[in-house]
Amino acid sequence: MSRKSGVGHETLLKRKAEEKLESYRRKIHMKNQAQEKAAEQFRMRLKTKQDEMKLEGDLRRSQRACQQLDAQKNIQVPREAWYWLRLEEETEEEEEEEKEQDEDEYTSEDLSVLEKLQILTSYLRQEHLYCIWCGTAYEDKEDLSSNCPGPTSADHD
Ligand SMILES: [Zn+2]
C-alpha cells in the first residue's frame, strides 16, 4: 500500500465519520426541536387551562356577589338564572335533560364562561356599582369610573 493511498483512505474514513456525526447532530437537533415544540404545546395547554380556571373562579365570585347584592336590593329572582350560583350542583344527567328541554330556546349554555363573566361584570357595575376585582361597591358611577381601573381582571394586575 503506498503512502498516498493510505492518506486517501484515512481521509475517506474521516469524512465518513464526520458525515455520521453530522447526521447524528441533525437527528438530535430535530429531536430537540420536536421536544421543544411538545413542551411549548404543553405550556400553552396548561396556560389555557389556568386561564379557564381563573375565569371560572371569577365567574363564581361574580355570581356570589350578584346574589348577595341583588338580595340587598330585595331582588328575589335573578335577571337570568345563571346570574346567581346554583344552590346545589346539578348532576350531569340533569344538565343533559335541561339541555334537551330548552333546545330551541336561548339558554345560558350557549354562552362561554368568558361571555357570562363579561355580561355579569357589566351588570354588577351598572346595577350595583360593584367590581369583584376591587372587591368594592362604589358610591356612584363617577366614584366607580375614577377609582376602578377597568372592567376586566387584566385591568387590575
Ligand atoms: Zn375594579
Instruction: Write the pLDDT tens digit of every residue in 38-70.
Output: 999 999 999 999 999 999 999 999 999 999 999
CA of 100 to the centre of ligand 1 (A): 38
Low-confidence winner among 79-88, 101-110, 143-152 (lowest mean pLDDT):
101-110
Q: What span, in angstroms and rounded, lies between the C-alpha atoms of 121 and 63?
A: 9
CA of 76 to the centre of ligand 1 (A): 26
- pLDDT at site 102: 47
Mean of all residue pLDDT scores within the chain: 87
CA of 69 to the centre of ligand 1 (A): 16
Task: Return all residues near 55 (Cβ < 8 A) that are at least 6 apart.
Answer: 113, 114, 117
Residue 150 near residue 118, CB atoms below 8 Å: no
Give SS3 for 77: coil
- pLDDT at site 29: 96
pLDDT at 7 over 80: no
Which residues have CB less than 5 Å away from ligand 1 (the ion)?
131, 133-134, 148
The pLDDT-based confidence of 10 (bands split at 50, 70, 90) is confident
CA of 4 to the centre of ligand 1 (A): 83
CA of 144 to the centre of ligand 1 (A): 8
Residue 148 near residue 131, CB atoms below 8 Å: yes
- pLDDT at site 25: 96
Q: How far is CA 84 from CA 68, 87, 129, in A?
A: 9, 9, 17
Task: Tell me the range of 3-12, 27-36, 81-90, 91-100 where mean pLDDT is highest.
Answer: 27-36
CA of 109 to the centre of ligand 1 (A): 27
- What does the pLDDT look like over 87-122, one tens digit per residue? 655 545 555 555 444 444 455 568 999 999 999 999
CA of 77 to the centre of ligand 1 (A): 26
